[in-house]
Amino acid sequence: MKRKTILITGASSGLGLGMAKLFAADGHDLALCARRTDRLETLKTELLQANPTIRVEIMALDVNDHDAVFQVFRAFKASFGTLDRIILNAGMGKGASLGTGYFEANRQTAMTNFVAAIAQAEAAMEIFREQNAGHLVTMSSVSAVRGFRRALNVYSATKAGLTTLTEGLRVDVLGSPIRVSCIHPGFIRTELNEKVKKVPFIVDLETGCRALVKAINKEKPTAYVPGWPWLWMQAIMRVLPAKMLRGFS
């Protein structure tokens, strides 16, 4: 099914920006939102110059402003008439080991990656239930399969929560025209991890985003991206002794 109009949160950089470029090249109309509107303006200009037949609308959005999430999603719906796919991409990777003085960073990650995701999913599902159609996509992580240390401790917990939330949403709408997918990216080079030098199996942004878009378009319930090596790595990670997980963080 061709999902003509796609809304992407956190679209000003990283995976959101990369996916927007690929969806635009494939002829999709785009509703893009993020905090940094200057970057969105630049992206909109670039997308329309490269793909003059598509439509691109942008709006400022901090997903931690929950009222604004509902307002922005509804405004895009009113503008486009229909939203065919909504990708909950906005996220954060701040944090450190608990008990080391970084509670605020850990709290911000928890609020952005999980609580704000609930607000976005609520707003998206309201629209899809009204339309009786749509495809909700959540961006979890391969780190959701286990608990990890240091900066990944709270991060992996939020992504595990998001994976479970997404599964429950999918069960809730089984048998309806609404589809729900949870994508688990592996290590993809973005601004969030550009200073981290030793990252196992990391791929560049374009390679990672092409794999993400391919997985999203398949609309399967869950996907690990890129498939190699993360499809088999996630299975191995589930049974690794705890001491062997230290190499991932």
Q: How far apart are CA 122 and CA 2, in angstroms?
A: 23
Summarised one tens digit per residue, pLDDT across range 31-90 is: 999 999 999 999 999 999 999 999 999 999 999 999 999 999 999 999 999 999 999 999
What is the residue type of 55?
Answer: R
Q: Which helix (H) or strand (E) holds 116?
A: helix 116-131
Per-residue confidence (pLDDT) for residue 192, from 0 to 100: 62
- Residues identified as active-site: 155
Write out pLDDT tens, residues 81-115.
Answer: 999 999 999 999 899 999 999 999 999 999 999 99
Q: From residue 72, how far is each of 4, 43, 57, 79, 233 by CA, in Å?
A: 19, 18, 11, 10, 37
Question: In the chain, how many domains are there?
Answer: 1
For residue 2, what pLDDT is reported? 80
- C-beta of residue 11 within 8 angstroms of C-beta of residue 33: yes
DSSP single-letter state for residue 176? S
- How much is the pLDDT for 245? 72
Nearest-CA neighbor of 186 among 228, 246, 219, 216? 228
All residues at 6 or more sequence positions from 172 whose CB lies less than 8 Å from its CB, including other chains = none
Half-sphere exposure (Cβ direction) of 235: Cα atoms closer than 13 Å:
6
Q: Report the percentage of the chain scoring pLDDT > 70.
A: 95
Q: How many CB atoms lie within 10 A of CB 110?
A: 19
Domain span holding position 128: 5-248
Q: What does the pLDDT look like over 109-148, one tens digit per residue?
A: 999 999 999 999 999 999 999 999 999 999 999 999 998 8
Q: What is the CATH number of the domain that holds 135?
A: 3.40.50.720
Q: What would the pLDDT profile of 166-202 be if each residue is shown by its tens digit?
A: 999 999 999 999 999 999 999 898 766 555 666 677 8
